[in-house]
Structure 1
């Protein structure tokens, strides 16, 4: 059984993003664990009356971490750094205003919220991007400490916590990037190997069919001409013209695929995809179709129209936005469903950054398939290509 996987670069982006996800969890845990330490420290210094406001400000920082984890977008992270930075300034000012000595005896309590500023980033597609966001968080943490020290008119004590967190985050990103690089060097690109295998198989199949057609037409016609009298009989001339038309039309190239079709419905869907390939070839996009020839691809006319339209919209996006000149379209038949997977190795994009009023992905693909009982999922990242999986229900009545 064949195991279907995302393209290598897309999968690598997903794995690298795990470092950011781990950072969110550690940041949240850091804020939560600061509360009992804060209570203990203020109790020892007989300042429990000052406790509510610092706890409230810690809650603001924690809420920001949760917001970033639920909606990891660039603007959300930037808003978090701004709001959480202000909350951290207030937190440090409250602790230092009437008790400057607390920074000497308990610096970890004062600087603890700044660790969360360094840990929170975005799902990074590459190690350098993740490191850059961590560095931005470190810069915000430093500015927070300087501003709080100026407000209370005390010397700035940065502490080593934020810097250590940044270094650990950097090591994590670079280690993961090194592992991925090592894997790329040792493990072959199975997508490329499979494409080469299909190309070889297609060439062998075309060679066999070409030999058969030449034997059935050209060689037989030469034998007729050589053995015929000076003038050809009308039926002989008609046969030669028919064979010539067969070779000129080149319908025989897809004859073997049509012969395997279980019915006219399947043949019609195959022909629709063939016409789609021809249409985009004129637009400069080379399509590589794959699929099990023995599978049943029969669907209702409504589902077929939606499936083809969603596929066409996906390919239009490849032509307009990806910068790629080729794409792979795999058609997968399973009991009760038909799935079309469109993959390109183009520039990619962040699906979460697409505005809600843009109809390309939502209206032409996702909503269109939902209307016929199907669905569409999109995986992409900047610089890592795009994979779109479109699933449609098959015609249950036709299959029985």
Structure 2
């Protein structure tokens, strides 16, 4: 099962942004909880007439918070700081005008909107950016406080609330940044790990294809030379030279990545006929039977794998079966092109084949599995051998 994981920097931004958003929730809760305390305080001090205006100014601050939550854009936050700063200025001026003693009685009530200004960090995706926004909010809160005290004709007496909130916010952001840095040093970068895994898989695939090509060309050509008479004929020499040119040019390495036309039925029929002719002069007669391949299309890499696996199967017949004839039946249906190779030779026990023998396993089975196909082998001592090779048609093409 493949699990999708966010890129490391994106995940860090999501976490930091979530912490910033939590600050807005605290700011909104602060404004909402201030309202009942404000009403009670003003009633007790005989200032009920100031309740509507102060509540409206708190409502402006709360509305700005909701606007930023709904549209977390920098220009919205800047507009919030301007609007909420003016509302904080008016709120402080109303409370302080004509009642300087409220600073001594309820100092926290005066600077409550200022706390919401400091808790401004929703655009932040990094710790330093979040601290910078909080610092800007703190500056706006100080300016609003100075203005409110000046309007009331009082000496500015800053409360410790906004400064403490700024300090706590900075500590929270820096702690989160330190944790993320520590995690980066311990947790691998999954993007790089996936790239390395793909490179290893490509290397393994290249190794399998290299083994298959060496088995199908070099080893078989050596067998031809060993079993040939003292003087090989021209046809054998031409085949050996062609195989050496294939290995020297290494075109087969990029075969799976080549952009080519699909292998249609005519091309497959021609290749099958060419294989039959080649193995005929080598002493193996092939009886080709089965349904036609009309309107069936194979992707280039699939067709190459199918023909390579078929060649490997026929090589095993000519080298190990002890017979001179084999049957090749082609079956084409709506989903696959299947080739079955059957001989009535001496057969073998597939379970008894040593693990270091690569013929059937690498050149036939693994070769087809790599391209989404399938290959199966049935054999028993004295009962001959049957190999079924199945290749999927290319549904991307008509």
Structure 1 pair 38–54 and aligned structure 2 pair: CA distance change class (3 A): same
Structure 1 pair 256–232 and aligned structure 2 pair: CA distance change class (3 A): farther
Task: Answer yes or no: is the 8 Å Cα contact 1:65–1:120 preserved in 2.
Answer: no
More displaced 10-residue stretch of structure 1: 146-155 or 217-226: 217-226
How far apart, in 2, do the equivalents of 1:265 and 1:51 lie? 82
How far apart, in 2, do the equivalents of 1:172 and 1:248 lie? 62
Structure 1 pair 253–132 and aligned structure 2 pair: CA distance change class (3 A): same
Q: Which residue is 1:54 aligned to?
A: 54
- Return the TM-score normalized by structure 2: 0.59
Structure 1 pair 166–120 and aligned structure 2 pair: CA distance change class (3 A): same
Q: Which residue is 1:140 aligned to?
A: 140
Q: Which residue is 1:129 aligned to?
A: 129
Structure 1 residue matching 2:111: 3-state secondary structure: helix
Taking the TM superposition and a 5 Å limit, the aligned residue runs for 1:184-263 are 184-217=184-217, 220=220, 233=234, 237=238, 240-241=241-242, 244=245, 248=249, 250=251, 253=254, 255=256
- Return the TM-score normalized by structure 1: 0.59
More displaced 10-residue stretch of structure 1: 78-87 or 220-229: 220-229
Q: Following TM superposition, by how much is the alpha carbon of 1:206 offset from its aligned partner in structure 2, in angstroms?
A: 0.7
Q: Following TM superposition, by how much is the alpha carbon of 1:184 offset from its aligned partner in structure 2, in angstroms?
A: 2.2
- RMSD in angstroms over aligned alpha carbons? 3.5
Q: Following TM superposition, by how much is the alpha carbon of 1:98 offset from its aligned partner in structure 2, in angstroms?
A: 2.3
Structure exhibiting the larger radius of gyration computed from Cα positions: 2
- Number of residue pairs matched by the alignment: 268
Task: Answer yes or no: is the 8 Å Cα contact 1:118–1:165 preserved in 2.
Answer: yes
Structure 1 pair 254–42 and aligned structure 2 pair: CA distance change class (3 A): farther
More displaced 10-residue stretch of structure 1: 203-212 or 188-197: 188-197
Q: Following TM superposition, by how much is the alpha carbon of 1:196 offset from its aligned partner in structure 2, in angstroms?
A: 2.4
How far apart, in 2, do the equivalents of 1:216 and 1:235 lie? 15
Listed one character per residue, the Cα deviations across residues 149-191 of structure 1 (whole Å, up to 9, x for unaligned) are 2222211111001001111111111222222222223333343
Structure 1 pair 134–220 and aligned structure 2 pair: CA distance change class (3 A): same
How far apart, in 2, do the equivalents of 1:8 and 1:220 lie? 51
Structure 2 residue matching 1:51: 3-state secondary structure: helix
How far apart, in 2, do the equivalents of 1:158 and 1:138 lie? 12
How far apart, in 2, do the equivalents of 1:116 and 1:247 lie? 74
More displaced 10-residue stretch of structure 1: 55-64 or 187-196: 187-196
Taking the TM superposition and a 5 Å limit, the aligned residue runs for 1:55-204 are 55-204=55-204
Which stretches in structure 2 are left out of the alignment for 5+ residues? 260-295, 303-334, 336-394
How far apart, in 2, do the equivalents of 1:266 and 1:230 lie? 40
